């Protein structure tokens, strides 16, 4: 089920809220509320296929059993290894088997094959990282093991975050799951946050996506201006799309009295790649820091080991996003720039004007997005040629030119502003918050009209 679907907006969410209101009026025990929200979350997840729900449910039960063993005190390293192996085996089996087999066959100049492996369950990558983090935190003593199976499954399947994150750890949610403190104030502000995300997705991300898709799907060399316009549009789209989902997840969590962590902090205002990765997909960055980079030694074991650890993290970051060489190159590309900044580039940047530092960060990030968006590594390289005038692309591509409407350029300008803190600063300065809130509701209603009139456009990170 998609947050921007009629079924979710007009049926699922109102029904769940009504049921929760009734339960609160009846003053039922918190365990019953946990069971109710778990049931709702299972319906939400199972909407995409009962088979996928069954697989993830089995995995969740196995993780629960392993966590109990970890808290038991005996053979703890063994049980942690068992839990990690179980989770990674399922992830690797579903997402990377065909990629590994075909990569080996390509090296051996053999014909590629497609193994009969079904599509991975929705949000499997997020589920895997969530589960590994929980087991590791129980092992380290950072969180108490959740012995209540219903409450543990609620944590795993809580529908605002189950398919696309943020990767919210048990230590953040555990207190809320035990209390479910729901107030009218939280419901009101949670709804507003949800509306903001909905507006960003429908009115902004979906609008600039039209040009991004047209340029990248042209199937031929495009002129340099169109290539740059295409990657600029995609840069706006991917941030607005994913941060919109995070806004909606955080808002929904607040409605139900559950804290979901912030995942973005205006990454496009960064002045270095190091800063960008502190602001972009924060839950993923901190996961790799805490469960890969630091366990490998972090920056405590010498310069060469630090560089190795950085490259391992960004190799895995790329691979996490998809079984394709262009994702791996995308990850390593950022790893190289982080190494360069550590070696001395960061010191040089600090001496440069602020405008130059912003331009540098945006330029590097946009080049990286080419590999992220392209269908293959070869397609990404061809697109870069178009961007830098190394190919004679046409500027008369009718499919692209038809998308360059005044409406598109208006939304592109608004999208650019939405990628900065300007709107937030202006909104906070409004002395009558009700004016701001009414504006959000009006734009939400307009977004609903756009949603009804447009074709289905899923969130980008659904595939991860």
> Phi and psi for 58 in degrees, rounded to 5?
-60, -45
Distances (CA, A) of 190 to 203, 247, 255: 20, 9, 5
CB 268 within 8 A of CB 239: yes
- Known catalytic membership, residue 321: yes
CB 412 within 8 A of CB 208: yes
Residues whose CB is less than 8 angstroms from the CB of residue 304 and which lie 6 or more positions away in sequence, other chains included: none
Task: Report how far residue 346's alpha carbon sits from residue 119's, in angstroms, rounded to the nearest whole number.
Answer: 42
Of the listed 180, 189, 321, 358, which one is catalytic?
Answer: 321
Q: Which residues pair with 80 in a beta bridge?
A: none
Task: Report how far residue 315's alpha carbon sits from residue 308's, in angstroms, rounded to the nearest whole number.
Answer: 10
41 exposure class (CB count in 10 Å sphere: 0-12, 13-18, 19+): buried
- Measure the CA angle with vertex 240, ends 217 and 158; round to 5°: 110
The HSE-up count of residue 448 (CA atoms within 13 Å, CB side) is 13
CB 185 within 8 A of CB 437: no
Instruction: Please provide the distance, in angstroms rounded to a whole number, between the alpha carbons at the two ends of the chain.
Output: 15
340-354 residues labelled b (16+ CB within 10 A) or e (exposed): ebbeebbeebeeeee
Q: Extract the runs of DSSP E, i.e. beta strands, from 160-229.
A: none
Torsion of CA 413, 415, 418, 419, to 10 degrees: -100
Query: Quick count: other Cβ atoms within 10 Å of Cβ 386?
Result: 25
From the list 233, 266, 236, the residue with the least C-alpha distance to 424 is 266
CB 462 within 8 A of CB 163: yes
Active-site amino acid positions: 321
């Amino acid at each position: 089920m998609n947050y921007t679907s009629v079924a979710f907006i007009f049926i699922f969410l109102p029904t769940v809220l009504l049921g929760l209101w009734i339960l609160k009026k009846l003053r039922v025990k918190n365990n019953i509320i946990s069971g109710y929200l778990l049931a709702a979350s299972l319906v939400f997840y199972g909407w995409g296929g009962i088979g996928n729900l069954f697989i993830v449910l089995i995995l969740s039960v196995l993780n629960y059993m392993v966590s109990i063993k970890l808290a038991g005190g005996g053979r703890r390293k063994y049980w942690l290894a068992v839990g990690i192996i179980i989770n990674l085996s399922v992830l690797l089996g579903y997402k990377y088997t065909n990629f590994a087999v075909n990569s080996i066959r390509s090296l051996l100049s053999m014909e590629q094959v497609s193994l009969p492996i079904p599509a991975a369950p929705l949000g499997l990558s997020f589920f895997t990282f969530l589960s590994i983090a929980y087991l590791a935190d129980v092992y380290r003593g950072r969180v108490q093991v959740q012995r209540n199976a219903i409450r543990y499954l609620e944590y795993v399947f809580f529908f605002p975050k189950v398919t696309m994150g943020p990767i919210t750890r048990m230590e953040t949610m555990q207190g809320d799951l035990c209390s479910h403190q729901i107030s009218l104030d939280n419901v009101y502000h949670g709804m507003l946050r949800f509306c903001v995300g909905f507006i960003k997705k429908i009115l902004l991300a979906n609008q600039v996506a039209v040009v991004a898709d047209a340029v990248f799907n042209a199937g031929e060399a495009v002129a340099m201006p169109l290539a740059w316009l295409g990657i600029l549009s995609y840069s706006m789209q991917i941030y607005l799309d994913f941060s919109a989902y995070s806004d909606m997840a955080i808002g929904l969590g607040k409605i139900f009295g559950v804290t979901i962590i912030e995942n973005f902090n205006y990454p496009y205002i960064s002045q270095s790649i190091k800063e960008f990765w502190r602001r972009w997909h924060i839950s993923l960055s901190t996961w790799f820091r805490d469960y890969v980079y630091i366990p490998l030694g972090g920056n405590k074991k010498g310069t060469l080991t630090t560089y190795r650890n950085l490259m391992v993290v960004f190799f895995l970051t790329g691979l996490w996003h998809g079984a394709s060489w262009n994702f791996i190159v995308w990850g390593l590309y950022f790893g190289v720039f982080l190494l360069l900044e550590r070696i001395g580039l960061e010191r040089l940047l600090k001496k440069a004007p602020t405008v130059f530092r912003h331009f540098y960060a945006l330029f590097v990030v946009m080049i990286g997005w080419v590999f992220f968006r392209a269908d293959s590594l070869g397609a990404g390289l061809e697109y870069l040629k178009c961007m830098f005038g190394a190919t004679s692309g046409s500027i008369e591509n009718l499919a692209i030119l038809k998308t360059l409407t005044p409406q598109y350029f208006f939304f592109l300008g608004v999208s650019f502003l939405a990628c900065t803190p300007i709107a937030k600063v202006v909104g906070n300065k409004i002395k009558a918050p009700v004016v701001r809130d009414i504006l959000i509701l009006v734009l939400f209603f307009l977004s609903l009209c756009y949603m009804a009139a447009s074709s289905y456009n899923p969130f980008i990170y659904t595939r991860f």
